[in-house]
Amino acid sequence: MKDIFEKIKENRGPLGQYSQVGHGYFFFPKLEGPISNRMQFRGKDVLTWSLNNYLGLANHPEVREADAKAAADWGLAYPMGARMMSGNSNYHEQLENELSSYVGKEDTILLNFGYQGMASTVDALVDRNDVIVYDSEAHACIMDGMRMHVGKRFVYQHNDIESLRTQLGRAKKLVEDTNGGILVITEGVFGMAGDQGKLKEVVDLKSEFDFRLFVDDAHGIGTMGATGAGTGEEQGCMDGIDVYFGTFAKSFALIGGFISSDEKIVEYLRYNTRSQIFAKSLPMPIVIGALKRLELMRDQPQHKEKLWKIVNSLQSKLVANGFNLGRTNSPVTPVFLSGGPFEAANVILDLRENHGIFCSMVIYPVVPKDTIMLRLIPTASHTEEDVLYTIDIFTKVKDKLQNGFYAKDKIVYA
């Protein structure tokens, strides 16, 4: 028998094995200063393309005022307890009602954290007789929710409708024997590659296979659709989405999330979603802060318009300069380069230390071997000057990468 701690020491995991060399720089970096397009990293000013502050609301003066007043009026403790027991309030219910109206659903339940709420909702919606069919690039919170599912689950190739059709056929045969149902789970916008889920085409299959559709729209709420109500609005199929998930962690620049659906489904979730039943209610400043952010999203479309102006400028200029952005059709902007993990580390060192650009890096196994993905998140806080500077530096970095500069033992800082 082996001590579990000894096993942990011997195998620190796929990322943990690099903690001694990467902690504080590649992993768990500290960005300091006011949340904006420019912040500080290790004492240096950096142009930041790594924050999901899509609409630039994190430091909007009305948002900061609402947050501060709510904290002064209520503190961080109120309301105490889980919502089912003693943690409910009129403000919580007001936020749920306004969110329902915004996304065009009958009712809404607030989630303390988007990740746990998503996982727990998956668990609550299905039992051992039901089958889940999900996209192969589903987010980790979906995967963790499915780990709690004791029934069958089938995966379809990413955004491949024919593959989905095949897996739905398998699921339909299975539930005919179990007297269960089928839940399809996909995303509105996939957070790594930036492509939209083919929601309209998925919805079109419902009449043939009689399933329910659950959409994680963490990156779509606030950014997609005419009013920002999400990817379902963007594709004209919001009515076909049976369970809609949105987070506060991105466009809202906050914490928490919500599930919207039919009134009876939300009522069921209120009494059966374990991550909410057994957790303290969202503090009042979070709820009031979310109400203010939702008001600005509804009433001030200029924030989304500014976001998309930056998105279109950045992405079009990257493409014009020969960069591969993959299949993105959302604000998420992946830039694919060729190189191994050592070269990727040196690219990031060069960008941060010599050129003052902070963005995220993704390598194998998230992307194929010898591929480097630099992930940029444009926001309404960015400027055209930021775009032009980034294009100039990325072009120089790409040339140096192709010429073998980053294959050296180390990069000499400026």
Domain positions in the chain are: 4-54+302-407, 61-299
Question: Which residue's structure tokens are 């500069």?
Answer: 405
- Decide if pLDDT at 412 tops 80: no
pLDDT of residue 411: 61
On the CB side of 11, CA atoms within 13 Å amount to: 5
pLDDT of residue 281: 95
Q: Measured between alpha carbons, how far is 87 from 77 in angstroms, rounded to an integer?
A: 10
Mean pLDDT of 123-145: 94
pLDDT of residue 352: 95
Q: Measured between alpha carbons, how far is 204 from 368 in angstroms, rounded to an integer?
A: 32
Question: Which residue's structure tokens are 């039943």?
Answer: 277
Residue-level length of the chain? 414
- Which are the contacts of 233, defined by CB distance < 8 A and separation ≥ 6? 103, 104, 224, 225, 226, 227
What is the architecture, at CATH level 2, of domain 4-54+302-407?
Answer: Alpha-Beta Complex (3.90)
Closest C-alpha among 149, 144, 240 to residue 197: 240
Describe the strand order of the beta sheet including 152-156 as a list of residue ranges. 107-111, 257-261, 243-247, 212-216, 182-187, 131-135, 152-156
- Decide if pLDDT at 413 tops 60: no
Q: Does domain 61-299 bear CATH number 3.40.640.10?
A: yes
Tokens found for residue 173:
């045969």
> Could you report the per-residue pLDDT of 270-310, keeping only the tens digit for each?
999 999 999 999 999 999 999 999 999 999 999 999 999 99
Q: Measured between alpha carbons, how far is 324 from 334 in angstroms, rounded to an integer?
A: 8
Closest C-alpha among 245, 250, 220 to residue 233: 220
Alpha carbon 32 to chain centroid distance?
22
Burial of 185 (0-12, 13-18, 19+ CB in 10 A): buried
Tell me what percent of the residues of the chain surpass a pLDDT of 90.
82
Whole-model pTM: value is: 0.94
> Could you report the per-residue pLDDT of 218-252, keeping only the tens digit for each?
999 999 999 999 999 999 999 999 999 999 999 99
- Decide if pLDDT at 404 tops 80: yes
